[in-house]
Amino acid sequence: MSLFTLPTIPDIPVKGESAGYPIGRVFCVGRNYAAHAAEMGFEVDREAPFYFTKSPANAVLTGASMPYPPGTENFHHEMELVIAIGKPVFRCSKEQGLDAIYAYGCGLDMTRRDLQIASRNKQRPWDLGKDVEDSAVFAPLTKAGDFGAVGQQRIWLEVNGEVKQDATLEELIWKVDEIVSDLSKFYHLRPGDLIMTGTPAGVGPVVAGDVIAGGVDGLDPIALTITDAE
Ligand code: MN
């Protein structure tokens, strides 16, 4: 018995399953598309991927509305392919990493860009920029076998019907099997672990009233509405 009740973290629906996928941990890959790295002022680093995390408490499902968050004047959309882990792996090979992927989904990594950059420039953690309330948005998952191989699929995002991000998954610098294998050097990955694989170029600000819609070919689309600040 707990002293008090926490807000419920939603399970992510899975296509073809009545049961949902519980959200355990949310890992995110930084700068995983060359054109996005460039727009952020960086060259691609092929040395190793890098990661940050978002609290599962900040996860919401597609169709949500979120108030424009406090503390920012530059709140950005980031459209991402999400990996859902389906079996425990630790220090695994790329082949084992691919095999551990249960499903894929569309996700949004909403970001207080001004705070992220200010933190980065001061060599401080990114949490205020990235771990924003309601900022990890997930669409229903599609099982890996139903999606097929990650490759030429288009990944895109629109704000109020205007295309802002438009790329293909082939542009991923670190491929999904490499990401799982690499991240498993640092964590005992397990079912419930989600990995947001990074965003393509074209990130930009949203304001109250904006409607964000995104998709990846072969996956359920994602939507988020920004409402007035509280
Ligand atoms: Mn991101």
- d(CA 128, CA 131) in angstroms, rounded, equals 6
The CA 2 to ligand 1 mean position distance, Å, reads: 34
Å from CA of 81 to ligand 1 middle: 10
Q: In this structure, how many other beta carbons lie within 10 angstroms of the beta carbon of residue 227?
A: 12
Segments making up each domain of the chain, as ranges: 25-227
CA dihedral 106, 110, 113, 114 (to 10 degrees): 180
Q: What is the pLDDT along the chain (230 residues), one digit of tens a residue?
A: 999 999 999 999 999 999 999 999 999 999 999 999 999 988 887 889 999 999 999 999 999 999 999 999 999 999 999 999 999 999 999 999 999 999 999 999 999 999 999 999 999 999 999 999 999 999 999 999 999 999 999 999 999 999 999 999 999 999 999 999 999 999 999 999 999 999 999 999 999 999 999 999 999 999 999 999 99
Ligand 1 centroid vs 7 CA: distance in angstroms?
25
* pLDDT tens-place string over residues 68-92: 999 999 999 999 999 999 999 999 9
Instruction: Just give the CATH number of 25-227.
Output: 3.90.850.10
Please give the model's pTM, rounded to 2 decimal places.
Answer: 0.97
4 CA distance to ligand 1 middle (Å): 33
Residue 39 contacts residue 201 (beta carbons within 8 Å): yes
Encoded amino acid at 106, one letter: C
Read off the tokens for 98: 């691919």
pLDDT given at position 42: 87
DSSP 158-187: EETTEEEEEEEGGGBSS-HHHHHHHHTTTS
